[in-house]
Amino acid sequence: MSSPRLSVVVPFYNVGAYIGDCLDSIARQTWGDFEAILVDDGSPDDSAVIAKEMCARDSRFRIVEQDNAGLGPARNTGIEHATGEYLTFVDSDDLVTRHGFGLLIKALDRTGSDFAGGNARRFNNSYGVRPSWLHGQTFTEDRFATHISETPQLVLDRMVWNKVYRRSFWDEYGYRFPAIRYEDYPVTLKAHLDAVTVDTIAAPVYFWRERESGDSITQQKFQLANIRDRVVSAGLVLDEIEDALPEIRHRVHAHFRQIDLHSILSAFGTVPPEEEQHLVELTSELLGRLDDAVLETASRVAQLQFDAVRAGDVELLRLVALDPDAVKEHLPLSKTDFTLATSIREVSWIDGELSVRGTAEIRHLQSKPSSLRVGLVIAGRNYRLPVRRLPATDLRGEESLVGFEVRVSQELLAKCPAGPSHFDVRMRVGGIRRRDLLRGQKAGSPGWPPGMWIDGTSWIQPGPGKEGAFAVRRLADPCRLTSVEQTPDALVLHGRSAFDEPSLFVSRPLSGGEEELPLEVHGRDFTARLPIRPMLEEINPDDPFSQRTTRAFRMRGPEGREQVLLWTAGDRLVSHAEGGRVVMLTRSTGGYVNLHESPIRMTATAAVAAGNMLVVRGPDWGDVDFSWRRYLPDSDDYVDVACRRTVSDDGWAAVVEMAALEPADWILFATAPDGTSHAVQCEPFLSSRLPLTITRARHTYAVRPLAGTLHLEAT
């Protein structure tokens, strides 16, 4: 029997609550030619029982047992038992996307590179799925046969688990994981330096769990033993890049200053008194390894902390860690400290005009009188907009005159081109003037801004533009969905094409591939029938956590013309639930048509205040109870405040008295009769109408979406 092409090494220890889902995600891979070596690192719970059950069901899985030695040695054990041409690693509380292994192996087969890595997502029960910041800096696009010397942002690629390695490459350099936490980075960075070429994939291939309890290695960052291993790991990395190219060396030193050193300095606010001197010694060790040129570019507060570490001033280090803002007030300011900070809090259409509400302030000068100008820059020309100043919460958490609203008329929007038109912000406080693009989109309508027709053929779509700044685009006669009909077994799509002889294709952006939908065409008007049952029966989701598959729609015409299908079919989703699964036709953040298929998760489509009650509504897809939940700090434990549930022809309503919600961040949960629960999803059209801010007595309640789930911040 020939060896499998891929070996998957999965060490585990005390992960009984998570390992079953992890192994299921591996088993569902579209790349089936693999072996999975499950290394039981002396786990005291029932993790081994779950692992053995998987081995009994699927011959591709086998288990290896050893006394507890830690994650790094357990990975080394797994490698010793691996026989595949390729090698990959999965942490036992995480998930892999069904197409991940296949994407990486196909890249390696094509390029001959030494290893390939892909993007990652973070997830948990409270916040759903969201991008991983670190991987978003690195895996920005598909790059084949590149190298860290020509793609230097790869120095931020710290994790070993979002990659597939060529086993011959691994053995040639004899990589071994050290017996410490943060064992990934020394191996990963050395591999980048040793490789001839590597491949990067922008699509997410790995889902990285963030536990509510904070008991994963990366979430235990303030424990002294964790910090000690972090400093040891950093030392191994710094040794490795001592003679590297100057840009690589500089980026690694800058990264340790921005991430690791900052995190360690923050620990002075939580570490017990008897450990403070040890923490000073560890911090001093890392600080002494970093280049002076990198340290000199740090903020004024960080410079103060560096001096305190060198002087052993624990009292000052504790004070800065506990309240850095208070320390800033006593530091001398320079011109570079007075930067313009903007945010976008709400986007809506009022009387046919685009309304944008946000904040603008020059840091450290919030309380002083200021003048504000906002203009919309169209094709290089700056059109000044009327500005209404409003009170809002500033950077210090105080109420001051930093808020503003601008409205853009339809006449001005009609001048916008297809490319982004940005908002120019200029502020003056005394003799200090600052200028920047409007940026800082907050959750809710700024992230899901609604579009609108301004005439018979021009659609205005707000959204992100250059470098993430807020912008508007005018889409002239776009391909669009105009209405949707529901039949018992299909969704019938009606729309209009921007060109003659159109074809309509539906694709899965995460896993690739597309299929053409049959069309009935009358001139440029079209009708397409989308059968529901084939989607419900194909249970092989692209998102291993939410079990959701997303499909997008694209129209093509003669001579290669192509457009993404725009949603102009009203302001509510269209859904069909059956057999525990649901299909939802809705819009994307950019206003385009998306089709989601997933297990039923209750979805909120409306949120309103009724007196002292908060009412959330959604389609009735099953018998569940609703509650607002807050997790206790660093714990999987939580407090629930039950809602009164009613059902009508319009669906369910979850009603709670706002006074029962003490100041905290609350998440709306639905709990099934069997006790399983999930965070209620926030439907895109509701997101485009949020935030909902309610003031009752001395309290403020802000309802907003976060990573697709519905949250309420009570203050």
Q: pLDDT tens for residues 124-155?
A: 877 788 899 989 999 999 999 999 999 999 99
What average pLDDT does range 157-179 have in this prediction? 97
User: What is the pTM assigned to this prediction?
Assistant: 0.85
Q: pLDDT tens for residues 490-540?
A: 999 999 999 999 999 999 887 777 899 999 999 999 999 999 988 887 767
Q: pLDDT tens for residues 598-613?
A: 999 999 999 999 999 9
Measured in residues, the chain has a length of 715
Q: CA triplet 23, 28, 33: central angle to 5 degrees?
A: 95
Report DSSP letters for 511-574, one per residue: T--EEEEPEEEETTEEEEEEESHHHHH----SSTTT--EEEEEEEE-GGG-EEEPEE-S-SS-E
pLDDT of 612: 94
The one-letter amino acid code at 236 reads: L
pLDDT of 396: 83
Q: Report the percent of the chain where pLDDT is more than 70.
A: 98
Both tokens assigned to 314: 């624990």
Q: pLDDT tens for residues 454-499?
A: 998 999 999 999 888 999 999 999 999 999 999 988 999 999 999 9
| Residue with more model confidence, 510 or 115 | 115
Report DSSP letters for 35-58, one per residue: EEEEEEES--STHHHHHHHHHHH-
Q: Report the percent of the chain where pLDDT is more than 90.
A: 81
pLDDT of 1: 59
Q: pLDDT tens for residues 581-596?
A: 999 999 999 999 999 9
What angle separates helix 276-289 from helix 224-240, to the nearest 10 degrees?
A: 10
Residue indicated by tokens 């710094």 = 238
pLDDT of 214: 46
The one-letter amino acid code at 588 reads: S
Alpha helix (H) ranges present in 365-501?
410-413
Q: pLDDT tens for residues 266-292?
A: 999 988 999 999 999 999 999 999 999
pLDDT of 221: 52
Q: How far apart are CA 115 and CA 190, in angstroms?
A: 12
Q: Give the β-pairing of 381-385 and 432-437.
A: unpaired
Task: Of 386, 397, 334, 400, give the one whose Cα is nearest residue 355.
Answer: 386
Q: pLDDT tens for residues 174-201?
A: 999 999 999 999 999 999 999 999 999 9
Confidence of residue 328 (pLDDT cuts 50, 70, 90): confident
Confidence of residue 326 (pLDDT cuts 50, 70, 90): confident
The domains located in the chain, with CATH, are 6-212 (3.90.550.10), 221-330 (no CATH), 336-475 (2.60.40.10), 480-599 (2.60.40), 603-714 (2.60.40)
Q: How far apart are CA 354 and CA 450, in angstroms?
A: 9
Alpha helix (H) ranges present in 256-313?
262-266, 276-289, 292-295, 300-311
Q: CA triplet 129, 131, 136: central angle to 5 degrees?
A: 165
Q: pLDDT tens for residues 410-444?
A: 999 999 999 999 999 999 998 899 999 999 999 99
Question: At residue 217, does pLDDT exceed 50?
Answer: no
pLDDT, the chain, mean: 93
Helix (H) or strand (E) holding 315: helix 314-322
Longest CA span, the chain = 79
Confidence of residue 397 (pLDDT cuts 50, 70, 90): confident
Task: Of 640, 639, 674, give the one whose Cα is nearest residue 654.
Answer: 640
pLDDT of 219: 39
The one-character DSSP state at 592 is B
How would you label 452-481 residue by residue, b for 16+ Cβ within 10 Å and e otherwise?
Answer: bebeeebbbbbbbbeeebbbbbbbeebbbb
The one-character DSSP state at 2 is P
pLDDT of 212: 61
Q: How many CA atoms lie within 13 A of 205 on its CB side?
A: 28
Q: How far apart are CA 359 and CA 341, in angstroms?
A: 8
